[in-house]
Amino acid sequence: MKPFCKGQVLVIAALLVAVAVITMVSQVASAQSGTVTSGIVVGIDTDGDGRLTRFAVSDSSGTVTTFEVSDTTEYGLENQAGDRWVSTQGEEPVEIVRRLLDHRERFAPITVSSENGVAISVVEREEGKLETSLGYLFAVFAVTWALFFAYVLYMGSKQRVLQHDIARLKGAAGQAK
Amino acid sequence: MTRVLSFLDPLPIFTAALMGVTLWLIFIWVPTEINQGAVQRILYFHVPVAWGSMLGIFIVSGSSIMYLWKKNEKWDRLAVASAEVGVVFGGLMLLSGMIWARPVWAVWWTGEAKLTTALILFFIYVAYLMFRAYFPPGAQRQRLAAVIGLIGAVNTPIIYFAANLWSQAHPPIIIGPATDAESTLGSDLGIVLMASTLAFTFLFIYLVQVRYKIRRAEDDIVELKRASGARTPVTPETPVITETRGAS
């Protein structure tokens, strides 16, 4: 079995890069297609059982936005010590009230991604982390595949030289006989 | 024509297809992890290449044992091939880990046990290959290289258990027999990690297979040189290539 030749490797490399760029762009687009709001918690509503029903966030311009919640709403919030708490509305509808109250008392900013006024996720305020994270992700992707393709190309060229040498030596041996 | 046929070999085709599916799973299918966001997807590269680097040293040590026992050259070739591919995977393990650590831990590197033992594994690979490159050819070189390979294998379980033994910034084990219930991945994330690990394992096997054949071709050239009574002393490593490249 021979390794891929240079042209084939380059075609595959180009396809992989294209796939990576397209998917990352789509990731960014999908991440930014929903409404993203950052601000501090200014209002919390609960039902008779103490479960969260909706909450309000005030952004830096003073605009207050109210968000409904559903059982699939995800939470990723930190306490004052920095310990991360991750859950969903369906799993811990009461605990989230305590967490949001804590954020309101501390004026700790949160980021809410939502669709049609229903919160999809509620996390600690994202500070441009999406673009930064994608940069690191792309770096790993690029380094990984660049190294693999360079290695495959190196082995391919080495094998061609060796096969040429073997053919030449066999030819020389045949002539000597 | 042979190039076209080589392109139709089942192993690289299957590996490429599996890798394509894995990329789709990583970038499209799997949901974004809520704690780390998009950067968490580095996991699907980092863990498989780390697995590949450990698989490599296991094959090196296994082949070394077989070589010491059977004295058959094919085991020595397999050890060299695995070591060379293993050092590529080991380097990628360190690089991807460093790039991941920067946004998550705010540092490129820490001196904790998991990272240090992984770095030691990389150095063992490098030492193994350097030893083979610079030690005079012969049975003694192969025996000593086999011993270095065996030493490398001792480090592997230490790397695997390091995060659990010395709990520090690196997360605990998430796959394998030492996984505890609290640290397992969610089902979707776990599926993608398994698929990615499988794809990189096949890539590892393919690269070892190609490297093994190169090594055998190098040995064939040495044999042909000996058979033709060449005066120039040759080693299995390099001189024949440079010597004959411009000859035709």
Q: Is the pTM of this model over 0.90?
A: no
Segment 32-71 of chain A within 8 Å of chain B by CB: none
Residue B1 pLDDT? 38
The more confident residue out of B234 and B139 is: B139
- Chain B residue numbers touching A26 (CB-CB < 8 A): 28
- Chain B residue numbers touching A170 (CB-CB < 8 A): 224
Residue B52 pLDDT? 93
- Chain B residue numbers touching A3 (CB-CB < 8 A): 6, 12, 210
Residue to test with chain A: of B23, B222, B238, most A Cβ within 10 A: B23
> Is the ipTM here above 0.90?
no
- The residue type of B212 is Y
**HEC profile of chain A:** CCCCCHHHHHHHHHHHHHHHHHHHHHHHHHHHHCEEEEEEEEEEEECCCCCEEEEEEECCCCCEEEEECCCCCEEEEECCCCCEEEEECCCCCCHHHHHHHHHHHHCCCEEEEEECCEEEEEEECCCCHHHHHHHHHHHHHHHHHHHHHHHHHHHHHHHHHHHHHHHHHHHHHHHHC
Q: In 3-state terms, what secondary structure has residue B182? A: helix
| Shortest distance, CA A43 to any CA of chain B (angstroms) | 24
Do residues B160 and B176 make contact, with C-beta atoms less than 8 angstroms apart?
yes
Shortest CA distance from A5: residue in chain B: B3
Joined together, the tokens standing for residue B204 give 């590892």
Residue A116 pLDDT? 83
DSSP B129: H
Q: Does B187 touch chain A (CB under 8 A)?
A: no
Res B241 pLDDT > 50: no
Q: What would the CATH number be for the domain defined by A34-126? A: 2.40.50
Angle at A150 between CA A148 and CA B102, to 5 degrees: 55
Q: Does B42 touch chain A (CB under 8 A)?
A: yes
Domain segments of chain B: what residues? 42-243
Closest in B6, B88, B217 to A162, CB measured: B217
Do residues B208 and A150 make contact, with C-beta atoms less than 8 angstroms apart?
no
Tell me whether residues B224 and A8 touch, CB distance under 8 A: no
Q: What is the pLDDT of residues B16-51, one digit of tens each?
A: 899 989 988 988 888 877 667 788 889 999 999 999
**CA dist A136 to A123, A133, B103, B110, B138, Å?**
21, 5, 8, 18, 45
| Shortest distance, CA B210 to any CA of chain A (angstroms) | 7
Tokens 């060229």 belong to: A157
Do residues A29 and A9 make contact, with C-beta atoms less than 8 angstroms apart?
no
Per-residue pLDDT of chain A (177 residues; tens, 9 = 90+): 455 565 566 566 666 666 666 665 555 555 545 677 888 899 999 888 888 989 999 887 888 899 999 888 888 888 777 677 888 888 888 889 999 998 888 888 888 888 888 888 888 775 545 556 778 888 898 888 899 889 988 998 998 899 888 888 888 777 766
Shortest CA distance from A174: residue in chain B: B228
